[in-house]
Chain A
Amino acid sequence: MIISVASGKGGTGKTTVAVNLALSLARDKPLRYNLESLGQGTQTYPHSWVQFLDCDVEEPNAHIFLKPEFKRTYPVAIPIPEVDEQKCTHCGKCSEVCQYNAIAVLKDKVLIFPELCNGCGGCSLLCPEGAITEIKRTIGVIEEGKSGNINFSHGKLNIGEARATPVIRELKSRIDSNKLTIIDVPPGTSCPVIESVKGSDFCILVTEPTPFGLNDLILAVEVLRKLTIPFGVIINRADIGDKKVEGYCGRQRIPILMNIPVDREIAVSYSNGAPFILWKKEWEPKFKNLYFRIKELISK
């Protein structure tokens, strides 16, 4: 099962929710749960059944909280064209094919703009002279390791690189379908968000009860409806603003899965990179229940 945690607006608490959810579910011993009320009998979860993917490859933060020991590093490269000037007749086909203006053909020279290349492979496939091959250009890195029993992976886009989606795509190719995968999604509503949430069984939208939170929640809801991914809302800092988020969720019949109150201790522990369920023990069952609630919502 894949649960993604997204928000629209940044800084609402995506990483806090994703990290605390992962920690509440990952335990040393196999866990046994009585799920009779859900009609699923008793289920046992082996240890290390939780996989965590931080898909916010522009600004990954979950590692600050989960402190994984990284064991493996893989570069992420996208293919870009290389022209064999010996074979090239400067016919211009490649530049005609390229929708991203990444190749310009001059009278006696071909110019390539790697940062515009989308890696579609059209130029090399369609060159009539077979003069174009593809070489790899590194744009980021994937790091993998363990945080306790959690299998942790994140991607990091290189500084100055524009396109996050190839790194996210590569990271998501590592999803282990035998595990519960929790995905920390970047903020916003455009390509990196779509790439991150695509294929999720459920998406948690974390918001805050302010006009900004509501505005961006509505945008995120529209995205998830278009992608037909079921979702619910967590209201973080639940008492700082107004009641309009609750009103909106009520009218739209969106389940509110959890309210996290404003709490200076939670804010300070966040600032120091400490997940709050580690010492606010009363929250551990709440996050476990969140998982079961999601399971129930998916099975409906």
Chain B
Amino acid sequence: MKQIVVISGKGGTGKTVVAGSFASLANQKVMADCDVDAADLYLLLHPTIKEKHKFSGGKKAVIDKDRCTGCKKCMEVCRFEAIKEIRSQIVVDAISCEGCGVCKYVCPEQAIRIEEVVNGEWYISDTKYGPLVHAKLGIAGENSGKLVTVVKQNAKLVAEKGNADYIIIDGPPGIGCPVIASIGGADIALIVTEPTLSGMHDMERVIGVAKHFGIKTVVCINKYDLNLKNTQAIEEYCQKSNIKVVSKVPFDKAVIEALVKEMPVVEHSDSSASKEIKDLWDKVQEELKDGK
């Protein structure tokens, strides 16, 4: 079983468009949406939820106001400015609290307890393309990296049970904890970039992360014809860094049309982008056979 993770650095370069098309093109696979902050893959795959689970990603301090004497020791030790005095009452700002529990230990009145908070849900669903494991982080929730790990672990279990050949992971933007959690253990990272200076800058940083964790990386340049000079610069950079540019997808209105109809572009029409993405899937399979 091979894990393919689609990442980008910069947001909005086309990760979900590519991952959604792979859902349609690949046989025997499990899909995982690891962009738990802003999960969009379900919009293309139309899942029916089979299992729903609560996610607890963190802890929060709670002050028992009957016991609190207002000594403010907790406030002194909190490094996250999460304990405030509001109308002479000591309260926890749940959004700033990182659940470290130091306040609980220093409180002379034992007035503080640390509680697990439910701040998300994750699901195992059926789609016409096969199983999808996805999640929704609670509003202003935290620890999205941990939720990504839960999604991935369960995608793996589902894949093992169903003898799947691939796990296709739609990753988050950025380079921080949810990205690191998404790429861990992947057999290949497909970076979808665009020929803009921002896209290039962010691609270089996310290539650095993939390299740091020793993940084989290939690049796809989306909307490559928007700026041919930048496309060339990306190709040169990748060549120097020993990374293959496996595909160049042209700008194509059919991509937006398919998006508005909430379907993978490869099913919507046989347009130029659609053809190139089909070819990209073949390339990714070849790269997987190639190994490191």
Contacts and interface: CB of A to CB of B under 8 A. Distances in A.
Contact of B98 (A10, A61, A118, A162): A118
Most buried by A among B99, B139, B144: B139
Given A64-B201, A267-B226, A273-B198, A190 B144 contact: yes
A212 B59 CA distance: 31
B146 to A, nearest CB: 11
B12 A226 contact: no
Nearest to A8: B38
Contact of A222 (B37, B139, B173, B227): B139
Given A10-B173, A162-B177, A223 B106 contact: no
Nearest to A62: B198
A287 to B, nearest CB: 20
Contacts of B37: 8, 187-190, 193, 219
Given A120-B102, A211-B259, A211-B260, A187 B227 contact: no
A59 B40 contact: no
A160 B79 contact: no
B250 interface: no
Nearest to A60: B201
B9 A59 contact: yes
Interface string B249-271: 00000001001101000000000
Contacts of A12: 11-12
B107 interface: no
B205 A159 contact: yes
Interface in B128-173: 137, 139-145, 172-173
Interface in B11-30: 11-13, 16
Contacts of A15: 198
Interface size class of B (residues with CB under 8 A): 35 or more
B174 A210 contact: no
B38 A61 contact: no
Contacts, number: 193
Interface of B: 8-13, 16, 36-38, 40, 43, 59, 77, 79-80, 95-96, 98-102, 105-106, 114, 137, 139-145, 172-180, 194-199, 201-202, 205-206, 208-209, 212-213, 226-227, 230, 256, 259-260, 262
Contacts of B201: 59, 61, 64
23 contacts: A9-B12, A10-B173, A11-B10, A11-B13, A12-B11, A59-B173, A61-B197, A118-B100, A119-B79, A120-B100, A122-B100, A122-B102, A186-B174, A187-B173, A188-B37, A188-B38, A188-B174, A189-B137, A190-B178, A211-B43, A226-B95, A241-B260, A271-B226
A91 interface: no
Contacts of A10: 8, 10-13, 38, 173
A216 interface: yes
A227 B43 contact: no
Contacts of B177: 162-164
A272 interface: yes
B234 to A, nearest CB: 11
B140 A227 contact: yes
B95 A227 contact: yes
Contacts of B172: 188
Interface in A229-284: 240-242, 267-268, 270-273
Contact of B140 (A11, A189, A215, A267): A189
B79 A61 contact: no
A191 B142 contact: yes
Most buried by A among B11, B105, B114, B175: B11
Which 4 residue pairs across A and B have the least CB separation, nearest first? A10-B11, A11-B12, A120-B100, A188-B37
A144 interface: no
Contact of A97 (B98, B101, B259): B101
Contact of A163 (B11, B106, B176, B206): B176
A160 B198 contact: no
Contact of A273 (B100, B101, B106, B197): B197
A50 B226 CA distance: 32
Contacts of A164: 174, 176-177
A59 B102 contact: no
Contacts of A198: 95-96
Contacts of A157: 175-176
B77 A121 contact: yes
Contacts of B227: 268, 271-272
Contacts of B180: 160, 162
B209 A212 contact: no
A187 B105 contact: no
Contacts of B176: 58, 157, 161-164, 192
Contacts of B137: 189-190
A288 to B, nearest CB: 25
A160 B206 CA distance: 9
A187 B173 CA distance: 7
B174 A59 contact: yes
A261 to B, nearest CB: 14
A194 interface: yes
Nearest to B136: A219
Interface string A1-33: 000000011111001000000000000000000
Given A10-B10, A216-B38, A59 B105 contact: no
Interface in A156-210: 157, 159-164, 186-194, 198, 210
